[in-house]
Amino acid sequence: MTATPLKGSDRTTAGPLADGTATSVRPRRLRRRGRSAPYWFLVPALFLFAAFTVVPIGYAVWLSLHKVQVKGIGLGKGAREQVWNGLGNYTDVLHDSEFGHSVLRAFGYGLIVIPTMLGLALVFALMLDTPQARSAKFARLAIFLPYAVPGIIAALMWGFLYLPTVSPFYYLLREFNLPQPDLFDGGNLYLSFANIAVWGGTGFNMIVIYTALRAIPQEIYEAAKIDGASDLKIALRIKIPIVMPSLVLTFFFSVIATLQVFTEPMALKPLTNGLSGSWSPLMAIYDAAFFRSDIYGASATAVVLALATFALSFTLLRVSDRYTREDRA
């Protein structure tokens, strides 16, 4: 789990490659011809990677180091020119309390979403894996279903379910004379967004964990059963430790997704007045780039966000690496 975070990657690095390129028995003519082949197969991917990943990142970094200077009264052609600004935009970003708040909001949101979503995904996966579960096939499809619903449409649907006038939940609260919370207000807003993300993400993570569970050889359970272990004990002592790498993986991707939360707050914004246009980091960057037309500051902010994501990813991988290694020792 060092540089390639996705599971199963170790399978490809060893054995099977060698036989595809074994050169000892092949005539020289063939060997020479085959040598450039992998590069040709890679050309489209490499071209797209250069054009739509490397160049845009380079351009963003270049923009982040520049600013527009206005000459004279700023009218006419050439009155505005791009000049070098050094790290000026970056000091602005670090002093920008609005952006700082958006990062804090994203973290607060993540603190609710990630444990809930992964906890539910793990519980559902473990339940699917028990022989007593009835209609497991149906449940598996039903819980995975939200994955097929676009995030923005999920957010729109939940947005309606949060509206007191049309929501069945408010109907029930009214019927039983219970207090009716405002789901678009202050702290509740976090729960409202978090619920949408949990709804949309649990199924996919459940499948990832469940796949790992199914890869466990059945003999282990048989042995544990003979030793008198209960289902709960088997789950806690055998299954969860074995699927730990999958949990780490899903946690890792959830953290990255959390920092980039955009869809849910964007979708609920039209339904409420209490939502700032720079609620999440991505919204703050979009706001700076297109509403305030400050692409230089927006680029610097985006680069800071990217660096923070990288730093966080490598820290997480380092920690999980140490954890799994100690586990094995």
Partner 1 sequence: MTPLTLTATDARPGPAKPKRTAWVPTLVLVLGSLYCLIPVVWVVIAASKGRSELFSTFTFAPGTGFAANFKELSSYRDGIYWQWMANSLLYAGGGALLSAAVSAGGGYALGRFAFKGREFIFKLMLAGVLVPSIVLTVPQYLLLSKLGLADSYWSMLLPSILSPYGVYLVRIYAAAAVPGELLEAARMDGASEWRIFSRIAVPMMMPGLITVFLFQFVGIWNNFLLPYVMLADDTKFPITLGLYTLLTQGASQPALYTLVIMGCFLAILPLIALFLVIQRFWSLDLLSGSVKA
Site string for partner 1, 117-146 (x = CB under 8 A): ---x--xx--xx-xxxxxxxxxxxxxxxxx
Counting Cα atoms < 13 Å in the Cβ hemisphere of 144 gives: 15
Q: Select the residue interacting with partner 1 from 77, 84, 218, 328 (CB under 8 A).
A: 218
Minimal distance, residue 223 CB to partner 1, in Å: 14
Among 24, 45, 95, 176, binds partner 1 (CB under 8 A): 45
Place of tokens 């009155």: 79
157 touches partner 1 by CB under 8 A:
yes
- Residues 243-282 within binding reach of partner 1 (CB under 8 A): 246, 256, 259-260, 262-263, 266-267, 270-271, 282
The strand ranges marked E within the chain are 66-70, 80-84
Q: How far is the CB of 326 from partner 1 (least distance, A)?
A: 25
How far, in Å, CA of 283 to CA of 266, rounded?
8
- Write out the binding residues for partner 1, residues 277-306 only, by CB under 8 A: 282, 285-286, 289-290, 295, 298-299, 302-303, 305-306
Closest to partner 1 by CB, 55 vs 87, is 55
CA distances from 213 to 200, 206, 209 (A): 22, 10, 6
Helix (H, G, I), strand (E, B) or coil at 276: coil
Q: How long, in residues, is the chain?
A: 329
Query: Contacting partner 1 (CB under 8 A), which of 90, 190, 204, 251?
Result: 204
183 sits near partner 1 (criterion: CB under 8 A)? no
Q: Which is nearer to partner 1, 143 or 189 (CB)?
A: 143
Amino acid at 308: A
- State the nearest-atom distance from the C-beta of 227 to partner 1, in Å: 14
Least Å distance, CB 313 to partner 1, is 5
Residue 2: φ, ψ to 5°: -85, -85
- Residue 236, C-beta contacts closer than 8 angstroms, at least 6 positions apart: none
Do residues 173 and 236 lie in contact, with contact meaning Cβ atoms separated by under 8 Å? no
